Amino acid sequence: MSRWFLILLLVCSGAQAAPDATPAADMDGSVQQPRLLSQFVEIRQNMSVQAHGVVDRTSDLVVTAMGFLGVPYRRGGTSAETGFDCSGFVRAMYEKTAGLLLPRRADQQAAFAEKIDKKDLQPGDLVFFNTMRRAFSHVGIYVGDGKFIHSPRSGSEVRVEDMQHSYWKRRFDGARRVNTATAEAQNPAVN
C-alpha cells in the first residue's frame, strides 16, 4: 500500500509542477525554440567570422611588420623610403594592414588604445616603454613569445627584441590593444 501511495504522490506532484502548461503554451514554446536556435547559430557564425577577421588582421600586421626588418631608424620617419621612428613604424603598419590611422606620437597611441594586462598580450598589440624619462616615450608591436618589433633609435634599424631583456623589462610602461571598431568609428577615412 505504501508503494501505491508513493506513486500517487509523485504523479500528483508532477501534475502540480506545471499548472500553466496548456497546449497553446506548449505550441508557442515549440515554435519559439527553432527560431531561437537559428538566431543562436547566426550569432555564433557572425562571431566566428569576426574572430577569424581579427586573427587574420593581427597575422597580417605581424607578417607585414617583419617585412620591414632592417629599415633604418629616422626621427620623424613614417615610411620605408625615409626610415621610421618608433611611432611612425607602428602607425604605418596599422595603416597598411588594417586601414587604421593611429595618432602620430607614442604617448598619443597609448591614450588612443585600450589598456590590457601584460599577461593578456597577443600578437599585434602595442607595447610601451619609458626610454626618455617620460611615460610612453617608445612603442613597438608585440609579435608573440615575449618579443616585439620596433624601430629603436638613431643609428639602428627595425628589429625584434626580447621583452625579458633587462633594458626593456625595467622600462616597460604597459600594453595596449587597438580596438578596430572604436578606431574605425573615430576615423571616417577607414574603408
> Is the per-residue pLDDT at 25 higher than 70?
no
pLDDT value at residue 59: 80
**CA–CA separation, 167 vs 163, rounded Å?**
8
- Say what percent of the chain tops pLDDT 90: 61
Residues 6+ apart with CB under 8 A from 150: 86, 89, 90, 138, 139, 140, 141, 158, 159, 161
> Is the per-residue pLDDT at 138 higher than 90?
yes
Phi, psi of 44 (to 5 degrees): -60, -40
pLDDT grade for 142, boundaries at 50, 70 and 90:
very high
Sign of the CA dihedral 75, 166, 117, 53? positive
The domain segmentation of the chain, as residue ranges, is: 53-186
Answer with the residue of higher pLDDT: 5 or 80: 80
* Amino acid symbol at 169: K
pLDDT value at residue 82: 94
Mean pLDDT of 11-32: 45
pLDDT digits (tens, 9 = 90+) for 42-92: 655 555 454 444 455 678 899 999 999 999 999 999 999 999 999 999 999
> Is the per-residue pLDDT at 100 higher than 70?
yes
pLDDT value at residue 21: 45
Concerning whether 86 is annotated as a catalytic residue, the answer is yes
Q: Which of 12, 52, 138, 165 is catalytic?
A: 138
pLDDT value at residue 72: 97
- Say what percent of the chain tops pLDDT 70: 64
pLDDT value at residue 37: 55
Q: Which of 12, 52, 86, 165 is catalytic?
A: 86
CA-closest candidate to residue 121, choices 164, 181, 69:
164
Phi, psi of 173 (to 5 degrees): -105, -20
The pTM (predicted TM-score) of the whole model is 0.69
Concerning whether 12 is annotated as a catalytic residue, the answer is no
Residues 6+ apart with CB under 8 A from 101: 91, 94, 95, 187, 189, 190
Concerning whether 165 is annotated as a catalytic residue, the answer is no
Residues 53-186, CATH architecture: Alpha-Beta Complex (3.90)
